[in-house]
Structure 1
Amino acid sequence: MEKFTVHTGVVVPLDRSNVDTDAIIPKQYLKSIKRTGFGPTLFDDWRYNEPGEPGMDHSKRAVNPAFVLNFPRYAGASVLLARENFGCGSSREHAVWALTDYGVRAVIAPSFADIFFNNSFKNGLLPITLPAEAVEQLFQETGAQEGYQLTVDLERQQVLTPTGAAFGFSIDEFRRYCLLNGLDDIGLTLQHADEIRAYEERRQQAAPWLF
């Protein structure tokens, strides 16, 4: 998993509340568990003017020019600004995979659905909860300035604006540690690879019939 320390990126504002995981990545794309290849189908039903299916050449599909991800000014955005209850609905981990595969490193919102929130940390995506008034301010500033960027400093737990204003955010210390060091559940387990190997060797000697 990629480490997250300090990230600066263009902000894309998704001015919708209660964005559910089916909107983030529709159900027809859930067959793959490779964690990659979902970026072109992020917000699929909103992003394109025609239905999508797995295996399509999405670069040839007609895009919806009214959807914010298709605005040229937000090309290459890596910080998503959203409204309350982002990531509600089903528990599909693919929603986080689609965001990270698109290039999103952090999502800022007043609140998140619990399962999406937990899935984000396990996949290197940083969900940041800020007060509604702070989020509103960021929406206003993003809309007023093309190429608006935010810096997310996980070490200091701050979101920094181009003017130098800082918004502090809280995060569980263990989750912060994992993101700073690029450790998902597998990475955490592999930190104990020597102990696991030694245990398996002892077990094989004690119960060889199992092997």
Structure 2
Amino acid sequence: MRRPDRFVWLLIGAVALAASVCGHALELAIENLRVLGDGRANYAHPAQLFAGEMAGALFLIALVAMARRFLQCALHARADKDCLVPALGGIVRFGFAPVTVSLLLIQFASLISSELLEQHWAGFGGGLASIIGPGHITTIAVHLVVGVLFAFCLYRVSRFVCAQTKTIVSVIALFARRLVPATPKPISSYSQRTLLVCARRPALLALGLANRPPPFSFANA
């Protein structure tokens, strides 16, 4: 079995953190509307900003790594699927269900840890009841929907990119060959010596060989 690319989990973690932040924002909006009797907890949520920044940093690292591999493969006209974006190829091989479960686990771990940290900073002792308890009954459903949606988008984008790898690499390689001029091949030392000898050797007309009479043996024959 092939070892998955090291950026697979980095990408899944970035998407999971983004899903956690988006789900938290959606849940706060629902609580502000007092849907199903939900209400906001009595503490601030500064950890969500940190989670969003972490998601952006992980996304940036993964995208830079994938772009670097993309350019390397495109310039060398290598169109195999795993070559172009191995992180996305690993997600496709992983499968939709394992990707979704992994993303949801990371998402809920991020949600609970950030909420408990915010409660500690605020001196609030509500615990898990202030996250998924009474008054917050929509939290789990909202985060499940957001997490599954993010996992579906990640998996579908990965499949699309991997399916179009050959076409994308061919187009990039074509443009690269037009933009970068071909490097002339160096002339070998043997070819250089041959050219010098031929250049220094005088022509037959210069030696007067064409105007000489035939040899004596041929004249008496």
Structure 2 length as normaliser, TM-score? 0.23
Structure 1 length as normaliser, TM-score? 0.23
**Larger relative contact order (Cα-Cα within 8 Å, sequence gap ≥ 6):** 2
